[in-house]
A and B are shown apart, each in its own frame.
Chain A
Amino acid sequence: MSKIGFPLKDLRRRKFHTTFSIIALSLCVAAMVSTVLIAQNSGLQVTALLTGRLNVGFTNIFSGLATVIAYLSILTGGVMTYFFVSANMSVRVRDIGIIKASGCIPDQAFGYFAIQLFLLVLSSCVAGTGIGVLLSYSFSFLNPQSLPASQMSVNLWTVFEVLLIFALVAHFLGVQPIVKAMKIKPAEALFPYYLRGVSFKSAQSTSTKLGATFKIAYRTIMRRKPATLSTIFCLSLALGSATVAAAGTAIASETSQNYLSRGLGENIVLIGHRDITTQYTYFLSDQLQAEKKTTINYLDSKYVIPQATVLRLTMIPNARLDPRLFLEGLVIERPMIQIVEEQYIVIGDSRSSEALIFGIDAELLTNNWLIEGRTLGKADKYSAILGDSLASNILTFPFDQRVTILGKDFEVVGLALDPLNTGFVAYLPLDTLTTASNHTGYNLMLLRIEPSTYSESLEKISEAVRDTELQLVELNPILDRITRFFQSLWSSFTVVSLLFLITMALCLFTHMTLHITEQEPEIAIMRALGAKPRKVVAILMMQAALIILISGTIGISTGLFASFAFLVPSPAISPMNLLTVGVWLLSTITVLTVSSLYPALLIAKKTLASIIPKL
């Protein structure tokens, strides 16, 4: 038989353990692969290899979360490998004793189990990659708007890269219990009561006021400290990862929505010539990969909004007017000279980028971007607000450098997270842009309507522009579409949290099954003494509850703290977020309880006669 013949045969013989190990590890790999693929195809940067199709701001902010989820998947997979290999080794200790006692060289025995580890990791990588790719495509089919299937691609190099990291982590952690098991002396391994990490030292003392159920449960898990700690560690990490995936994405989704509505403004109506409004909505729909843009001359006199119309619009109550001059142009970086230790250092170059250029009246703005720095003031003449992507593309130190637009130099006073043209925008004072472009008047009007009188005001605005060449476009449906895009993007990561949840359930199920097998003789004694099956279930459930409680406290609180405090900058936390997190916590605890309840019920269902021979 070949060298892998024995280990393979052994794995096939231990169907229950092998299947559970492969499923759990495959789900971790699937979580990792699907996170990377969805993020890659959605434009979120996860590794240095990927580039985005979102604003640099959105990418920077949210790719942090996606990266953390991907790396947590790798780490969880590695730790799960450690858990399942430990569980396997715990039931193989006697075999190791026999193998060693019969004169087998420890290296040979080590090789035997190392091959099993390799086979487990390999099959998990293959199955997990398949599931991960399938999940990504399923997500793409279910959310064609945010991730069209036609544009889905599998970057094999990226997949290989993450699988390689996973395999290294899994082998490094998975080999530890094998090394530990190999160090056991044959006599120790053949000791009839050798159990997985059981300590035969005195049990931990607990208050005598507590009932027998708690005392037995607590002391049993304390007696099996190494196994219990390993399970708690695995569950805590998986729970933390799952919480980050669930709570983090709920917050990220809400925060995206918040940034978008601030950048675009809510209840906004766009008025301008058909060409101009069409162009504006094209640029707004970049995330949705909308239709191809056309080239137009923005300064053509036919696009100027007549003064009479402006006046009519000004008269409409509950509608705030935001007149703009809108054009496309080149934004050029101005290099900066700094003196450092009596030496002149040139910072920057003359990089340039095409961008949308808006002339705005600072006092009439209808939106409220998430901005670093400040917005334009009344006194500003040669100041500019740049979109995040534009600034990051052409400037090294945006607030210390200047930009040239239409031959004039502008000081950068603010960086805005603007969904328009994926952040390739520049906002200048309206008067300055009018002068620089030798143009008078506005070619675009934004009107913010009070929500309470929306329909009424909309009617009046339609009336005001009737019989002109101007077109009225409501921006709310577009804002909804972009919001839905982000929501569906984030919902894909919720699937990752579900994968983690199944992995945790398998981990706890395996732990409880092994734990119960070890306790079977004592369970038989208790029942022989008159304990009803439900008393046995209560003791076992108490053990599971203690493990879930400790893991939950560590994992969920760390995950929540990380999600709320670190992973999403300026997070928007709404009651909906809290409700989502609450539902997540409840379902996690329910699933974990059910997964531990099943083996407890199985042993309670067995007749006393079937376990009594072991007394």
Chain B
Amino acid sequence: MGKKQTVVRAFSLSKEYRIGDISIQALKNVNLEVFENEFVCVEGPSGSGKTTLLSLIGGLDTPTEGEMVVFGTNLNNCDEDFQAVFRCANVGFVFQSYNLISTLTALENVAFPIELAGFSDERVKQRPKKLLELVGLSHRANNFPAQLSGGEQQRVAFARALANDPPLVLVDEPTANLDMYTAGEIVALLARLKIEGKTLMVASHDEKILELADRLLKLRDGSLLE
């Protein structure tokens, strides 16, 4: 078996937020590597820097110090346009509070990243339907986010994250706001993605998700524990 390719590589990564005179050190000197097809779980208490780490990996934010290289691209040196194209093609995001676009239906929310990537009309039409079917929401395709339950919104968010079939999927606290039954459905979905061979980075406290993970990263006060 050959050596697995590195998907994410972080060198001495630090992130500091400044609010007026107060500075908050969200990440301190983080070094990590994530390989292809790996399921990495980031665990830590609230405020430990999990979301910040995922944001830096996804190119949503830039580090104060250090380097973030994703698929061989140093995201620190890229402009906003390049980062947008990079995210659209390579990274799927599932946010903690779903963050669906309220003015688009479930189907259109899933179609949005495909349209952004400039795929054919046929793909824009067909793929979202398949993805909603995958997450068991075909019957809710034409509903707007406000008409969906929390679990349904989360599943649409998963479908949207997979829209452009990205090799890396980042998931932030996917079960935090859900009841046990719905959380179980989300865990099943993650398991399925793992089987399909996606590289997954999930920030979570959920034990069922931690059990699924190939590797566990523990974050405490912005530092990665060995």
CB under 8 Å from chain A, chain B span 37-63: 55, 58, 60-62
Interface residues on A, range: 20 to 34
A340 at the interface (CB under 8 A from B): no
Residue of B with least CB distance to A535: B116
A615 partner, pick from B99, B101, B103, beta carbons under 8 A: B99
Q: Determine, out of B4-12, B76-84, B184-192, B217-225, the stretch whose residues face the partner at the interface.
A: B76-84
Given A522-B102, A527-B84, A532-B85, output 11 extra A-B contacts at Cβ < 8 Å: A202-B143, A202-B144, A219-B103, A525-B99, A530-B85, A530-B87, A530-B116, A533-B80, A533-B81, A533-B84, A615-B99
Interface residues on B, range: 35 or more
Q: Determine, out of B66-74, B106-114, B175-183, B201-209, the stretch whose residues face the partner at the interface.
A: B106-114
Q: Are the CB atoms of B95 and A615 closer together than 8 Å? A: yes
Majority SS at the chain A contact face: helix
A460 at the interface (CB under 8 A from B): no
Collect the chain A residues with CB atoms within 8 Å of residue B93's CB: 528-529
A612 partner, pick from B55, B81, B88, B104, beta carbons under 8 A: B55
Query: What would be 27 A-B contacts, judged by CB atoms less than 8 Å apart?
Result: A200-B146, A201-B146, A202-B144, A202-B146, A203-B102, A203-B144, A211-B115, A212-B111, A212-B112, A216-B104, A219-B104, A223-B102, A522-B102, A522-B103, A525-B95, A525-B101, A528-B87, A529-B112, A529-B113, A530-B85, A530-B117, A532-B81, A532-B84, A609-B55, A612-B60, A615-B95, A615-B99
CA A612 to CA B58, docked complex, whole Å: 12
Q: Are the CB atoms of A215 and B116 closer together than 8 Å? A: no
Collect the chain B residues with CB atoms within 8 Å of residue A223's CB: 102-103
A522 partner, pick from B83, B101, B113, B146, beta carbons under 8 A: B101
B residues with CB within 8 A of A: 17, 55, 58, 60-62, 80-81, 83-85, 87-89, 93, 95, 97, 99-104, 108, 111-113, 115-117, 143-144, 146-147, 160
B104 partner, pick from A200, A212, A521, A535, beta carbons under 8 A: A212
A119 at the interface (CB under 8 A from B): no
A350 at the interface (CB under 8 A from B): no
Q: Are the CB atoms of A529 and B87 closer together than 8 Å? A: yes
Collect the chain A residues with CB atoms within 8 Å of residue B112's CB: 212, 526, 529
Q: Are the CB atoms of A612 and B103 closer together than 8 Å? A: no
A607 at the interface (CB under 8 A from B): yes
A220 at the interface (CB under 8 A from B): yes
Q: How many A-B residue pairs have CB under 8 A?
A: 86
A530 partner, pick from B84, B95, B104, beta carbons under 8 A: B84
CA A257 to CA B111, docked complex, whole Å: 61
CB distance from B84 to the nearest CB of A (A): 5
A529 partner, pick from B88, B144, B147, beta carbons under 8 A: B88
Collect the chain B residues with CB atoms within 8 Å of residue A202's CB: 143-144, 146-147
Collect the chain A residues with CB atoms within 8 Å of residue B84's CB: 527, 530-533
Residue of A with least CB distance to B58: A528
Collect the chain B residues with CB atoms within 8 Å of residue A362's CB: none
Q: Are the CB atoms of B116 and A615 closer together than 8 Å? A: no
6 interchain residue pairs of minimum CB distance: A530-B88, A219-B103, A609-B61, A532-B84, A525-B99, A530-B87
Q: Are the CB atoms of A529 and B160 closer together than 8 Å? A: yes
Collect the chain B residues with CB atoms within 8 Å of residue A612's CB: 55, 60-61
Q: Are the CB atoms of B103 and A203 closer together than 8 Å? A: yes
CB under 8 Å from chain B, chain A span 493-530: 521-522, 525-530
Collect the chain A residues with CB atoms within 8 Å of residue B111's CB: 212
CA A212 to CA B114, docked complex, whole Å: 11
CA A219 to CA B80, docked complex, whole Å: 27
Collect the chain B residues with CB atoms within 8 Å of residue A203's CB: 102-103, 144
B80 partner, pick from A200, A201, A529, A607, beta carbons under 8 A: A607
Q: Are the CB atoms of B104 and A215 closer together than 8 Å? A: yes
CB distance from A201 to the nearest CB of B (A): 8
CB distance from A506 to the nearest CB of B (A): 27
CA A531 to CA B160, docked complex, whole Å: 14
CB distance from B198 to the nearest CB of A (A): 17
